[in-house]
Amino acid sequence: MKKVLLLVSAVALAFLLSVTQQSNASGGTGSNGGYFWSLYYSGGSASITFPSGGGNFAISWSGCSDMVGGKGWSTGSAQSIGYNVGSASGYNVIAIYGWTTSPLIEYYVCELGSNANGTKVNTVSSDGHTYTFYKHQQVNQPSIQGTATFWQYLDNWGGSSKGANHTVTMGNHVNNWKSNGGQGFGSYNYQILACEEWNGGSGSVNATVW
C-alpha cells in the first residue's frame, strides 16, 4: 500500500490538457460528456478514451510504475454516485477518489481491490456493505497544492462486482470522516471513479460513472 499512497497523490501532478472530444489523452485532465476526467501515469504507457460519452471511460496501460485515472466531477459533493465497472483487469484498486482543501485531505472509498493502510479508526455501514476506515498521514508528498503534509482517509471494502450497477452514498462516508477522522473535512476539490495500478504490468478498464 505504500506505493498506492504515493500513486494517488501523483494525480495532482498530472499536467493540464483540455480535451472535450473523444480522443486519447495520455496524462492530463479535461472534460468529456459533461464529466471531468483525469489520467496520470509514470513509466510505460497509458491512454484514456471515451467510447460511449457521458460518464463512460476506458483506460489501457502497460509497464507503468504507477497509473491512476478516471472520470467524475471537477467539484465533488456528498452525493450518491452510481457506477458500473463493465470490465477490468490488471488493476490494484477501483475507488471513489478525491480531495478536499482547508484542510487538505485525500480520500478513497474502495469498491474493488484493497487500499487498507495506516491506523484503523472504525467501520461505517453504507449501501449494504461494511467499510473499514483507515487514516494515514502523508509527509512532504505531492498533492493538489504541491508538496505538502496531509491526511488520507481510506474507506476499504473492495467486494464489489463487475458488470452490474452499484451505488456509493458518499454522505455516509463524509459524515463519518467529519465525526471521527480527527482532521475534519474541507471544501471539495475533484471527485472521480478512479482505477489505479502500481505493479508495472498491463491492464485495462471500461467503466461508467453517474
Catalytic residues: 106, 196
What type of residue is 110? Answer: C
Is residue 15 a contact partner of residue 207, using CB atoms and an 8 Å limit?
Answer: no
Rounded CA separation 179/48 (Å): 37
Q: Give the strand pairing for 45-49 and 66-73.
A: unpaired
92 and 73 Cβ atoms separated by less than 8 Å? no
* Cell numbers standing for residue 197: 495500478
Distances (CA, A) of 5 to 52, 81, 108, 137, 180: 31, 23, 11, 10, 21
Phi, psi of 175 (to 5 degrees): -60, -40
Q: Is residue 74 exposed (0-12), middle (13-18) or buried (19+ Cβ within 10 Å)?
A: middle
Closest alpha carbon to 43 in 94, 17, 7: 7
Taking the C-alpha atoms of residue 25 and residue 42, their distance in angstroms, rounded to an integer, is: 14
